[in-house]
Structure formats: structure tokens, C-alpha cells
Chains A and B, each alone.
Chain A
């Protein structure tokens, strides 16, 4: 869609046919195209209608003000009252308007007419598509039990398709990418150590910190708005920064020290830091005595892990390791090693996260100013409904805290993801629900409902996913954009974007507990529907009317808000956001009230629970497999203008960053005869090849690894801008190492070689 107003005028006659075609896309798209051209001056305040929302361009959920003029959304801004956005948005949030008016959006329910995977569909009415979908789901439930249907859900509508409808339906097999493909090891490690999860918003007390150590944490490239704000301010206030990363990241550019660690050796570094803190007596003795158990065993355990031991492993000089440990201690407790996100690296990730948490604990910073604060969530009652036949097990990064779950609740259908056999504990891990679709073990999964999860860009081992999709009896996909996996669905339901719908309230676990409103700024583009409506219509057709007793979404929201003395109108009057006081610090907890609800009521440095389950009760370092000669370790990460595999087609974001490049160390590239801009294919250890991708020869990465921005290389989609652009890291991640404790899929265990395109 490269047309501009000017070209329209100039070539008006020749474009008449195209214009007719465009008219079918509907008035909003036309309006969008027509008005392109510098708007100066901006609209008068009385022309603009403001509605409240929380952003869905990534899962961070920044509060938004949506500006609408004559039924067209013209701009979004951060909501100044929102504790996350504080009136600001990142580039992706700013591009929400282009997402809403993306001409590629799904606009009709689709029913498959040909082979799966071939995009053979006919358009259907909502009535027919919903009837058929419900019929197929009901048949599977009645014939094989509700557990035979898996539900995959992501983004903010995942409440309806991850946390509500599937539980009413009775399936425990609800997977969110945010668990096994992202946060699970961190959450499980935090549960084991503190008795509480970290939650969606990392509780770093940036405001008061004086010394920051980032480990593989890409602030700036990972453009979580609040974190960027806090991080930039902390540095401006003079906080010192150490960045541990094989790549000279954006954060490393700001660092006082960059430690280009050998990939896979982070736990060795963490153990060596603990060794220095303990052997030199630099840890917070008083804090350890008051709040923790198991310190003596740790002191014994870390004795061999000296900086001299860690130096050849990590390739960081022993002296540097020692100096950083001393600097950390000198700043305690105003020092923090943030837990980070996407921690599924090498399959030993729960142990690494435990090591990271214990290092923080030695510095006495948990619940202290400048360290890790204690978040809190508001308590709203759910809309009254009968008890679910299964318990919530999906977790997810929006979840306030993900509990350690004992695998099977008596009387409930068991989970199919192998918890209790393949791995010990934690929420359902999405990638382990694929295997039962193929092997029928521990029991067959025969149906899949997939909401907002791009199956080929999030779940590793794409050939296996395709095999599973071939075998499923029924696949229902709900999405906004024609992502590639939709080709494999039997029925596709087009959802309205977050700017066009009400949604579940955003109930945030945060330093300041708060709730935020999402309300529609404009009517959904015809013929799309909000997620809550789709879930309700399916529910009613599945005989689950008892779970959907509300007649309108406003009634649903008002009822929930009533439990905290609010209403939609009052929430609007309050500016779309309502906050409560938090209890971020230890001093906010009274005598006999512990912020650490572990079995011992203290921070468990030594984990009895792990010991009982047969795991190392104190973190250990395990070497990881090295790349074979001629191969590089495949690392991946984020670009500040893109989210997962979701935004590559956004007209504005695609314009600024249309395709990824493969980062190769400049000397390593020269040795291969490659230079900047050369096209290469990447081939992994299993012979899987990416599409062509350009080389970015740079000193900013070690010689043993290459790096791709995640989410590119869409193939087989109907995304006109994203299709075929760049290389897909997930396609090359054909194998992963399962974390035996949490079920996280360690994905940095793939190796690629570069093949020059001729």
C-alpha cells in the first residue's frame, strides 16, 4: 500500500480501478490513506475525543489515551495517570494507529475448503463460523473429554481464551508462550526462594538504586516503556552500570563495564561473585540472619567457585570478577541484579535464576530501597460464576504470581504437558503440549484453539508443530492479522484490535497496585468482533451459559468494579486508572507478617523442596554444549520497534525496520569473506535453512555467536509487508533443552553456519 494522496491526484485516472478496490476495504482505511501528508497544525482540542486504553502492542500494558477525530483514531499517547506509561509510549505503542488500519487485517470469518496449510478458505457468516466451531469443540469434549482440546493464548485478550473459556470448558491444557518459552524458570525459582513470583512487571527499585548489573537483559532493545524510563533516569542520577552480555547491546553502550561473557556460563559468574562476597565477608550479615535460611550450606557450597575458577569458563578476568563483586558490596543494599525476562536459555535456567536471586539476597536488597521491591496486586472479585471444573494453571507474564503447582488435582483431568515426569513443577508449558498431538502420550490432544499465538514464530521445532497440525482433528484460530499458522486452521475468526473493543480490566501487580480500563475508541472494522464477544458466543453455544450470565461487557466490568467500590464511570472520571497504596519495602510489613510465604517463612537460600525432589538444593554450574567447528551459537533478541512475530507487518514499524540482519563479529565475517550487506543463508545443526538475510559485520558481538532480531522471516503468511523479509530465528531453533525443574525450553542451544548466497 504505497499510495499517497499526491500520487492519487497525479495519477488519478489510471488509479480509478485501484480506488474501487480500495473502497472495498472500508471507509476507515480510505480515510487513513487520504489524510497521509504532513498534518500541520494539529486538530483543535474540541475536535478530539479521548478514550482510555492499555496498550497491546506488546504485553507490557502501558496506559493510553486514544485520540479520535470524526470516528477515526488519529493518535495515541501515554496516559499521564498510568503508573506504567506516565504519559509516554514507546515506538510500538505509537504505531498502534497503523495496526488498527493495517489493510492486511482479517475481515471475515473463514472456513477451510481445501488442504490444511494451503490457505484454502471461503468467507462465512459469524453465525455459521461460530456454530461450526462450537459443534466441533463440543464433539471432541463429548467424545474424548474436555482435556482433548488444547488452548494457546497470548496478548491481553488471553484472559478470555486462556484464563476463562477453557477453564469453563474444562481443559487443563492451556498454554501461554509467556511460560515455557519465556518466564517459567524465573517464576519457579522465585517461588522456591521467596515464596512469591516476580510477576509481569519486574520489581526493580530503579529510583533508588546506585549500582546495576544486567545479565543478558536488553533494556532499550527490549523497549518496555517503564523500564526504559526508570533505567535512563537511574543512569542520569549517577547509578553505575555493568552489562554482562556476549553482545555489545544498547544497554552495554551505556555501561561503565561491559563483560562480554562466553555464552552459557552465566551461572559460573554468579557463583564466583557469591564466592567473593562470602569469603571476603562483604555480604549483608544482618539481613541474612534475619530473613534467610540455609546460608551456612551456601557458604560451604561456593568455596571452590573462586574468580580464578570462573575466569577460564566465562572468559572474564578473575580480577574483573573480584572488582565488580566488591563494587556491588560497596553499594549495598542500593544495588540490583534485575532478574530479566525471557530466561529460557540453556535448560538449566531455574538454577541460574536461583543463583541470581541468591546473589541479590546476599546484598540484602530484597524489599529494600534500591534493590528489588515487593509488588502487590489489587484484589477484585471475579464476575460471579460457578466453580471451574479445572484450576487455573496457565500462568503467563500478566499473572500476578505464578504458583508452584502440584501436578494433578484429584478429580480433575491431568495436564498433558508432562509435569511430574518430564519436569517437576510450574504452570503449563506450551511447547510440551505439541508432543501429545503427535504421539497421543500421555493422552491424545485432538483439538486446538489458538488465540494470538503465532505457532511458527514462538514454539521451537517448527517441523514438529507442522506434524501436529496435520494430525489435529480440529483447529480454531482467532487473530487480527493473517499470520502464517492461520493457513492450518479449519476456522478463522477475525478479532477487533484492542483500540476497538472493551476487554477484561488490567489488574496490575506493581509497586503501586492499580487497575486500568480498556474501552473502544471506535467501532470494530466490519466484520471483526471483540474477543470477549467471541468467547461468550462460543461459550453459549457450548452449553456454558452459566459462566456468561452477563448481558453486556459493561455489565461484566461494572460488576467486577463494584467489588472495589468503583464503576466504569468512576474509573473514567479517575482518568482510566485507579491505584491503591502498595507495600514495597520490608518495613511496610508488621511483626509476625512475612512478605516471604515459603514453608520456612524466610528466604530459602537452601531449598528443601528441590532437595526432596532430587534436584540440587543450591545452584550449580553445568557446562553447555559448544558449537562444532565452523558453526556459531545462535543468539536472538529484540528490536525496540518490534514485538515477537506480531509487528513486522505494521506499516509504520515495517517502514523503519523492515527486516532483520544477522550480526556477525567483523573479524569472523572477514575470515569467511563476508562483508556488511552480503546476503547469506543460515543453516543449523539439523540442516534447516533460513531465508536470505543480510550480514551485519560488527565488533559488537563475540566471535563464537551470531545474533538475530526475533520475529522476522515470515513465510506462508498473507502479511504483505512482512512476508519473506529477513530470517526467522525460531525456524532455526529446531531443538531445545527442557529445564527439568520448570519445563522451560532452553533455546540457545542451536548452532548455525553461514552460507553465502550466490
Chain B
């Protein structure tokens, strides 16, 4: 499949959170688990106020820090989205640490984040959030289509929102979620230039080191086990002798 993307038009979002529940329902998420959240952002002073609803969800970075640090391969890229093989997740939480948007969480010892609705898209349907959005703020399609749509929408919004702009075209190597913003990203609580964490340290240093540490600890606990077991057997023999 071509590289896909989603569009989220913040100028249209009414903050109703239908997407939040549709996702929870469709993906049968655990209690307390949500892949989509909506944050209300209001700025200015009474009565000169402005506001918007900002999604807090996986933006499916092309250069996804979470994928790069995942030690088990549970997080991986496909067709522009960042997918999750939940069975492979060890719950180490590295992805939680490195995400520049603080999106992944651990729920019941396992990563929790939007794993996309690629299963539905592959059979010609829309993701749960997209198909229910009453405001028509969401779309899903090829990344080119979505970028073109976003550009058209921003152009149409310039009168109403002079600072309207696209978000996600370049950030993190290009996001899989392209947003139409009515105001600059910083105003909406989004990093204008999210930084890729020093991955070299993770990939090149910490990860092998931690693997080494893991092996070392396995080795030591193995030795400890043998010692403990020998002692235990000795004690058992002794107590049996005493018992007789």
C-alpha cells in the first residue's frame, strides 16, 4: 500500500470526543486505555479569547523514535503508520521515554498507543475515528492526497485564521497525521520542531549495554540459583536426617 496519512483539521474539530470513544469501542481497549485524547486550549484574556481542540494521539512519525528504541520489534512502521505487535511488547517503556509528543503509555504492563486502523483501511474502510467524526475534521488517504487537502484547507482558512498552517509535513521526518492548525503550533501546545532524542546513545550505547546488563544479571542470578538450590537441598537432607 502507498504511504498513508490522516488529516486532522483543528478548525473544524468541535471537541465532541466521538473519536475518543469510537476508537475505544472499535479497538476494544482495556479500561483506562485510550488511543485518542482531545485537549482544550484557550488563550487570551476575557473577553478577547481564542481556543481550539488539540488531539493528543500518536502522530505516526516517519522517523519514529519509538520504533528505533523498541528492543523487541513490537513497534514497527508499515504504510506510513507506526504499528504495534502487542504480543511482542515486553513493557520496557523505552518508547514512553523517547516520544517527543509524550504519547505512548504503559497499560497493564504493555505499550498503549494508536496502532492505526490499517486492518480496516486494507479492506477499504475508514479508521474508526475518521468514519464517526461528526464535524468532518478527520480524513484518511494517501499522504499526497492528505497533504494536498491540507494545503487547500489552509488556503481557504487564511481569511478567518491568518496564522493557519499545516503541521506534520516535515516534523520528525514527516508525520503520518497531518494537521490543519488555526494558530501557530506553540500556541496550541505542539512543539514547532520536535527533537529526535539522541538516538545514537540509545541505539549505539544504552541498548547494547542494557542487553549486556541483562545477560550479566541472568548469569549472576543463574549462579545464585545454583548456590541457593544446593544449600536448599543440603538443608533438606539435614532436616530429613534430624526428623528420623
Contacts and interface: CB of A to CB of B under 8 A. Distances in A.
Interface of A: 1-7, 35-42, 45, 74-78, 87-95, 97-98, 219-220, 223, 225, 228-229, 231-233, 235-236, 238, 248, 250, 252-254, 256, 258, 260, 640-641, 651-653, 655-656, 665-667, 698-700, 702
A253 B22 contact: no
A40 B12 CA distance: 29
Contact of A229 (B21, B53, B134, B160): B134
B21 A88 contact: no
Contact of B49 (A5, A91, A700): A700
Contacts, number: 171
Given A91-B22, A656-B20, A232 B131 contact: no
B191 interface: no
B27 A38 contact: yes
A269 to B, nearest CB: 16
Interface string B33-71: 110000000101111011111000000000000000000
A219 B27 CA distance: 28
A393 to B, nearest CB: 34
Given A78-B132, A228-B135, A655-B32, A91 B18 contact: yes
B21 A40 contact: no
A248 B31 CA distance: 32
Contact of A228 (B16, B49, B160): B16
B20 A89 contact: no
7 contacts: A38-B112, A40-B86, A89-B22, A91-B17, A95-B21, A641-B17, A699-B49
Contact of B135 (A45, A77, A229, A653): A229
A232 B134 contact: yes
The 7 closest A-B pairs by CB, nearest first: A41-B119, A39-B28, A220-B14, A232-B135, A253-B51, A94-B21, A91-B21
A87 B15 contact: no
Contacts of A250: 14-15
A232 B24 contact: no
Given A7-B108, A40-B119, 5 more contacts: A6-B109, A38-B84, A95-B25, A236-B11, A700-B51
A87 B18 CA distance: 13
B31 A655 contact: yes
Interface centre among A7, A37, A238, A260 (most CB of B within 10 A): A37
A253 B50 contact: yes
A641 B47 CA distance: 27
Contacts of A228: 14, 16, 134-135
A93 B135 CA distance: 15
A89 B27 CA distance: 16
Contact of A699 (B31, B33, B45): B45
Contacts of B131: 77, 87-88
A95 B22 CA distance: 8
Interface residues of B, number: 52
Given A77-B131, A232-B137, A699-B49, A35 B28 contact: yes
A151 to B, nearest CB: 33
A232 B132 contact: no
Nearest to A35: B28
Given A655-B31, A699-B45, A700-B49, A94 B136 contact: no
A253 B132 contact: no
B136 A236 contact: yes
A219 B165 CA distance: 25
A703 to B, nearest CB: 8
B190 interface: no
B197 interface: no
A7 B18 CA distance: 28
A105 B28 CA distance: 21
Interface in B100-128: 108-110, 112, 115, 117, 119-120, 123
A248 B46 CA distance: 9
Nearest to B112: A38
B28 A258 contact: no
B15 A699 contact: no
Contact of B24 (A220, A652, A702): A652
B42 A698 contact: yes
A253 B136 CA distance: 17
A146 B132 CA distance: 46
B35 to A, nearest CB: 8
Interface in B130-167: 131-137, 156, 160
Nearest to B114: A38
B214 interface: no
Given A232-B14, A235-B12, A656-B17, A89 B132 contact: yes
Contacts of A235: 11-12
Contacts of A260: 46-47
Nearest to A641: B17
Nearest to B49: A248
Contact of A236 (B12, B86, B112): B12
Interface centre among A39, A91, A93 (most CB of B within 10 A): A91
Nearest to A80: B131
Contacts of B52: 253
A237 B172 CA distance: 32
Given A2-B31, A652-B24, A38 B16 contact: no
Contacts of A641: 16-17, 21
A274 to B, nearest CB: 25
